[in-house]
Amino acid sequence: MTELKIARLGYKAQKLTAEPGENLYSVLAGAGLITAPCGGRGRCGKCRLRVVSGDMSALPGEQQFFSEKELADGWRLACMHDVGPSALELSVPVEEKTAEIKVDGYLPEFELAGTDGYGLMIDIGSTTVAAGLVDLRDGRVIGHASCLNSQAAFGQDVMSRISYADQEERGLEVMQDAIVGNIRELMSTLLEKHGLTADDLCQIVIAGNTTMIHLLAAYDPICLGTAPYKMAFSGPLELKGSDLGLDAKDCPIFCVPSVSAFIGGDIIAGVLACRLYESTDCALFIDIGTNGEIILANNGHLVGCSCATGPALEGMNISCGSIAKDGAIEDMSIDDGQVNYSTIGGTDPIGLCGSGLLAAVAELNRKGLMDKNGRLKKTAPIEVVDSKRRLPLGGGLVLTQQDVRQVQLAKGAILSGIRSLLKAANVKPEDLDRVIVAGQFGAHLKAVDLLDCGLLPKVDVDKIIYAGNTSLSGAYLCLVGRGEREICARIAGNVDYLELIELPEYQQEFINCMSFDA
């Protein structure tokens, strides 16, 4: 076994042991010490560390991520190195905590069940996990807690995590341990803060996308990542705390049912919370994240689809991308050739998060600084360096042409999904009465940016409504409401799922929607 000593600023040094030949990133990620959007596949350059002592020579592939001086100073990418026979002392940068995670969402009127004890509602997102402690007698939410999803260390998007669970030794077990660890942490935090113990919990309700629930319950998710993309189970999944190794061993756990491999319980919870199953108008519900899930409710008839947007809209795979944390640029404008920006926390800029990225591309489009194909023009404040065009943002940060392309791909996926869904239902954009934007990421996007960037079809800006974390509010309804779980099961069975890739005209629609004048 090889000994690894890990130093992190503000933390006590930590010692690990690993078998020679193990991938260094896998070892550190498994210990919760490092993450990378690409899941350690050598594409993003974010698993940076510095060799303090020991032998770890630089590899050719690292030259695109580090300067010569940085390489000489011992900077390396963990994913590109295996553990050797000799001990290593490493310095790992500390990832700052994300900005406040959205925990509130729209709630309709409902009938309270009024049972005894306490319950826990949980929203498992690909990026974040949010929980709330509830007094079941009166439905009062007595506390919230949230954290980043630890599975992100093994891939930012669901397909990367499916691949990890399938291909890595103990991959599925590692993924389950990561999310159960998050739930255990949030549960402990909430119970201790309010003077309760695990024995006080009587109910747990969890909403999450289909992959998250499969990984939580240790169902092999490979069926979700390969044709014909079928779930390993159907209907509501009911567990006990002991099934997940939680201290609340006898506590029943209800997982909101999914529609398909890519329309999960988080979306069904949103449909429940927004009462779309009984609406008499024409409403479009969209949850924007690493996947875009879309539901059209037309006089109570529900049809849905899903599109792979990728992690760009959450600040990943972007040259100066960042999660939403202090210092991340969250909004920007261009006036008289001058770039103005605001950061989370009002601090100096350290990166560009999803909302800032979308604002930047929307502003470029509004000000005519790029053409309809997304190519940046040679007009101030656009600059050309080494024959490559880019937009200086401030603080040494730039938005590159490739960054714009990443947004373009995401925008093409979402808009083509919406258009295909509307066409299948014989509905025109002007027929929409409401466009409901839900989810953690969507809550931070300006309606005008969604329109000017082309993620949404051309509708009246006043029709765009923000519903917040409807996955969590739907889980809340299932926790405290009378008959809400049964309604969820009916909703999941009544959504007509549209498989976009099977539509004969979809590929052309996607190409058309890549245009910024679409």
Domain segments of the chain: what residues? 2-91, 118-274+472-481
Residue 304 is given by DSSP the state E
The whole-angstrom separation of Cα 3 and Cα 6 is 10
- Mean pLDDT comparison of 8-12, 254-258, 287-291, highest-scoring range: 254-258
Q: Tell which wins on pLDDT, 368 or 324.
A: 368
CATH of region 118-274+472-481: 3.30.420.480
Please tell me the CATH superfamily of domain 2-91, with its number.
Beta-grasp domain (3.10.20.30)
Rounded to whole angstroms, the Cα distance separating 410 from 285 reads 17
Q: What is the pLDDT of residue 126?
A: 87
Residue with tokens 């300006």: 446
Decide: 56 and 101 in contact? Cβ < 8 Å: no
The predicted structure's pLDDT at residue 98? 46
Residue 326 reports pLDDT greater than 90: no
Most confident of 97-101, 286-290, 332-336, 470-474: 470-474
Q: What is the pLDDT of residues 369-395, one digit of tens each?
A: 999 999 999 999 999 999 999 999 988
Q: Which of 410, 394, 204, 162 is nearest to 291 (CA)?
A: 410
- What integer pLDDT is reported at residue 190 of this predicted model? 96
pLDDT at 101: 46
Helix (H, G, I), strand (E, B) or coil at 17: strand
User: What is the model's pLDDT at position 402?
Assistant: 94
Between CA 354 and CA 99 the distance in angstroms is: 12
With cut-offs at 50, 70 and 90, classify the pLDDT of residue 99: very low
* pLDDT score recorded for residue 391: 95
Most trustworthy range by pLDDT among 148-157, 304-313, 372-381: 372-381
